[in-house]
């Protein structure tokens, strides 16, 4: 198994491409080892000292390290953990979680989610991250940054200049975009 790695705009995060499907549908973000319980792969990666956050996309794994660790030391252990996982036959996630457009969404929310799914998320996934809809209230869209986008120095610019402008252009009801707390 050959696993490629790519740098991301966030220097604390690396993107690992195992050459296989990681998530059949959606994404998964694990902010700490406790959150990794439903995922054998995430648990294996959190066992590596210095791993702070793990994120799964369709065909990639993004790992965020703690500030005191060096990629030269961490990278071989992470590569080994990913290889061990795929040779074990374990699922990436024991239970799949559904997300996306729901029948309960009003027309504006459905339009926002559709734009995020078709225009924003594929571009952000190239950098090893994801942006998930959280809420829409009083003209403000609240989005949650995941993967390499979480804590990235350029994430505020991405939200304000990129996503906010796109949503305001296509959805007149949108007046602002903010990161969900």
Q: Residue 115 above 70 pLDDT?
A: yes
Residue 103 has pLDDT above 60, yes or no: no
Residue 170 CA: distances (Å) to CA of 61, 108, 115, 156 = 31, 10, 8, 20
Average pLDDT, the chain: 86
Which tokens sit at 5? 């790695």
Determine the pLDDT at residue 105.
66
Buried b (16+ CB within 10 A) or exposed e, 91-111: ebbeeeeeeeeeeebeeebeb
Q: Is residue 151 scored above 90 in pLDDT? A: no
Distance of CA 178 to the CA centre of its chain: 17
Is the pLDDT at 112 greater than 60? The verdict is yes
Q: Is the pLDDT of residue 101 over 60?
A: no
Domain boundary assignment for the chain: 4-88, 107-179
Residue 135 host element (H or E): strand 129-137
**DSSP-assigned letter for residue 52:** E
Q: Is the pLDDT assigned to residue 98 strictly greater than 50?
A: no
The three-class DSSP label of residue 169 is helix
pLDDT level of residue 102 (50, 70, 90 thresholds)? low
d(CA 34, CA 127): 25
Q: What is the pLDDT of residues 9-61, one digit of tens each?
A: 888 999 999 999 999 888 888 989 998 989 999 999 999 999 999 999 889 99
The architecture of the domain spanning 107-179 is 2-Layer Sandwich (3.30)
**pTM for this prediction:** 0.69
In this prediction, residue 95 carries a pLDDT of: 63
Phi then psi dihedrals of residue 67, to 5 deg: -60, -30
> pLDDT tens digit string along 84-95?
999 998 889 886
Task: State in Å, rounded, how far the first CA of the chain is from the last one.
Answer: 39
Superfamily holding 4-88:
Scaffold protein Nfu/NifU, N-terminal domain (3.30.1370.70)
Domain 4-88 and domain 107-179, same fold? Reply is: no
Distance CA 77, CA 72 (A): 10
């Amino acid at each position: 198994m050959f696993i490629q790695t790519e740098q991301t705009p966030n220097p604390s995060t690396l993107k690992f491409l195992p050459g296989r499907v990681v998530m059949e549908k959606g994404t998964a973000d694990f902010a700490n080892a406790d959150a990794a319980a439903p995922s054998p792969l995430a648990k294996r990666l959190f066992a590596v000292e210095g791993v702070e956050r793990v994120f799964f996309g369709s065909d990639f794994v993004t790992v965020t390290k703690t500030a005191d660790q060096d990629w030269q030391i961490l990278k071989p252990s992470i590569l080994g953990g990913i290889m061990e996982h795929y040779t074990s036959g374990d699922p990436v996630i024991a239970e799949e979680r559904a997300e996306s457009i729901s029948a309960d969404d009003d027309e504006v929310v459905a339009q926002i989610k559709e734009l995020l799914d078709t225009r924003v998320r594929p571009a952000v996934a190239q950098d090893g991250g994801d942006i998930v809809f959280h809420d829409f209230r009083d003209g403000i869209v609240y989005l949650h940054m995941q993967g390499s986008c979480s804590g990235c120095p350029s994430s505020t610019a991405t939200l304000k200049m990129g996503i906010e402008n796109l949503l305001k252009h296509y959805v007149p009801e949108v007046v602002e975009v903010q990161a969900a707390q």
